[in-house]
Amino acid sequence: MNFLPTRAFVLGARPFRETDKIVQLYTLSLGRVKAVAKGVRSPKSKTASSLELFTEGDYSLHKSRSGDLYVLGQAKVLDAQGALKKDLSAITALQVLADLLTQVLQEAESHPELYELLKRLLSALKEGSADPEVLLTAFGARLLTLLGHPLGLDACASCERSLKGRSSFLVPHKGGALCQDCCPSAPAGLKVTAAGREVLQKLRTLPMDRVHVLKMGKAPARALFLTVMDYIERTVEKELKSVKVYLEMNHKLGIGS
């Protein structure tokens, strides 16, 4: 039996059969894959702790007989991300991130540069200087670029006039921003202010550990976060259900409401 060693982040797990789980892994060498973790629901399992959300570890995998799933062999935890799991707001932010990666990434497509970007994002979240929603916005914008969906922001994608100082709409099938003259009837959720568009331009290139230098109020940051998440949903034609859960949880906690 040939095992493939790979480094990976855990994106989620669900029960499977009596004592197993199916785990979503975002691996450095294989991309996003699913694996059966046998026996991890047993009280005596030594592997269960390595399958928590966004735990990074070294995992060994081999293809199952069906070929649709991998089977998890050994697992060694490198970083359990414990600092990011101390409150419900932080945990729901991680769930948004996991949902984003699960919905957007095709299976078995390796993106080493994206893996490194994810590491830097998690490091910035742990550092705590930047608003998590601003960091998720920055990550979402860069994710689009890395996957071949660059977000045009400098000029209107239709009339090509400069958007400097003007509100605009982010329109997926146009590949970026349209001025209000060229897009008079776009959904309100895709509208971005001139200031928001300028911030988004900076977020696409600013290192994750420098995102905190951009000062935004909570309301503008929330609006930009939701606009980018809406844009991503429309681009990949999949719903990010975790965003609604995230908003509801933050509303209960009195954050950003």
Q: Which CATH number covers residue 121?
A: 1.20.1440.120
Together in a domain, 158 and 142:
yes
Together in a domain, 10 and 116:
no
User: What SS3 state is found at 33?
Assistant: strand
How many CB atoms lie under 10 A from the CB of residue 246? 27
Least confident range from 15-24, 136-145, 245-254: namely 245-254
pLDDT band at 210 (very low <50, low <70, confident <90, very high): very high
- The domain boundary residue, chosen from 49, 65, 80: 80
CB 72 within 8 A of CB 59: yes
User: What SS3 state is found at 256?
Assistant: coil
Global confidence as pTM: 0.93
- The domain boundary residue, chosen from 46, 80, 114: 80
pLDDT band at 84 (very low <50, low <70, confident <90, very high): very high
Range of the domain at 202: 87-253
CB-side neighbour CA atoms (13 Å) of 175: 11
In this prediction, residue 22 carries a pLDDT of 96
Together in a domain, 60 and 150:
no
In this prediction, residue 11 carries a pLDDT of 97
Q: Bigger pLDDT: 255 or 75? A: 75
How many CB atoms lie under 10 A from the CB of residue 141? 22
How many CB atoms lie under 10 A from the CB of residue 13? 21
- The domain boundary residue, chosen from 28, 57, 80: 80
In this prediction, residue 27 carries a pLDDT of 97
In this prediction, residue 1 carries a pLDDT of 59
Structural domains counted in the chain = 2
Together in a domain, 184 and 62:
no
How many CB atoms lie under 10 A from the CB of residue 184? 9
* CB-based burial, 15-46: b 16+ in 10 Å, e otherwise: ebeeebbbbbbbbbebbbbbbbbbebbeeebe
Instruction: For residue range 156-181, list pLDDT tens digits in order.
Output: 999 999 999 999 999 998 989 999 99
CATH of the domain at 28: 2.40.50.140
Segments in the chain forming alpha helices (H): 88-104, 112-127, 132-146, 194-203, 218-236, 241-253
How many CB atoms lie under 10 A from the CB of residue 252? 11
